[in-house]
Amino acid sequence: MTSGKEEAGKGKVQRLGMLGGTFDPVHIGHLVLGEAAREEIGLDRVIFVPTGHSWRKSDREITPAGHRLEMLRLAVAGNPNFEVSTLEIEREGPSYSEVTLAGLRDSNPGAEMFFILGRDALADLPNWHNPSAVVSLATLVVAARGEDMSPASEDSALARLNARIISLKMPVIGVSATDIRQRVHDGRSIRYQAPDAVAEYIEARGLYRGA
């Protein structure tokens, strides 16, 4: 026999946030972004999706998916509202956001989808594979930089997509995966820039030491 509370919960529409990226490596900026979106938008879960084959970053070598996936799992382990999806890693061929969003929607019937991304990614959205499908599947949650809290870019190509956009208020975190990789390569500390468990994994596996 179910309680009234359980019956009421059955009718609740889940609000799911998708945060994709290469996560090479995952760092505190990613985690702060995910938590800010969860709190401000009222998300039930934030799903981190590591890229399998990034057609937008084909000009550089990316760390094998197994390492990036394990670092991401270590990073989110302490947050019950965070989870990791292997959809793009398991899928053959290039990773397209609209395919991933559709897959997450299919595995979570009735859920309201939110796609979390940065301001730079928003400006580049018209150049993505099938951007109209992306905006039809999810509301865009955009992390503004500094004082820039405008709801959308003035770019006409972006405006034509008629995307639903929410600007997210969050602290400015001056950390990047590129800088972390360089610091590791140079033998410098990444403490407080990546979770301790991630820093320990990088050290133990000797990641980012090469050219």
Per-residue pLDDT of the chain (211 residues; tens, 9 = 90+): 444 434 444 568 999 999 999 999 999 999 999 999 999 999 999 999 999 876 655 567 899 999 999 999 999 999 999 999 999 999 988 889 999 999 999 999 999 999 999 888 888 899 999 999 999 999 999 987 554 545 444 567 788 888 999 999 888 888 999 999 999 999 999 999 999 999 999 999 999 998 6
Q: How far is CA 193 from the centre of its chain?
A: 17
The distance in angstroms from the start CA to the end CA of the chain is 62
CA distances from 1 to 5, 7, 8, 9, 58 (A): 12, 10, 14, 15, 55
At residue 6, the pLDDT reads: 43
At residue 143, the pLDDT reads: 86
The fold for domain 13-202 equals Rossmann fold (3.40.50)
At residue 8, the pLDDT reads: 40
At residue 61, the pLDDT reads: 86
Tokens 């109209």 correspond to 132
CA distances from 78 to 35, 66, 134, 146, 179 (A): 12, 20, 30, 28, 25
Tokens 């033998």 correspond to 187
The strand pairing partners of 55, in sequence order, are none
At residue 155, the pLDDT reads: 63
Tokens 């410098």 correspond to 188
At residue 10, the pLDDT reads: 58
At residue 81, the pLDDT reads: 98
At residue 119, the pLDDT reads: 85
At residue 166, the pLDDT reads: 93
For the chain, what is the radius of gyration of the CA atoms?
18
What six digits make up the tokens of 19?
Answer: 């945060």
At residue 118, the pLDDT reads: 87
Q: Which amino acid is at 182?
A: Q
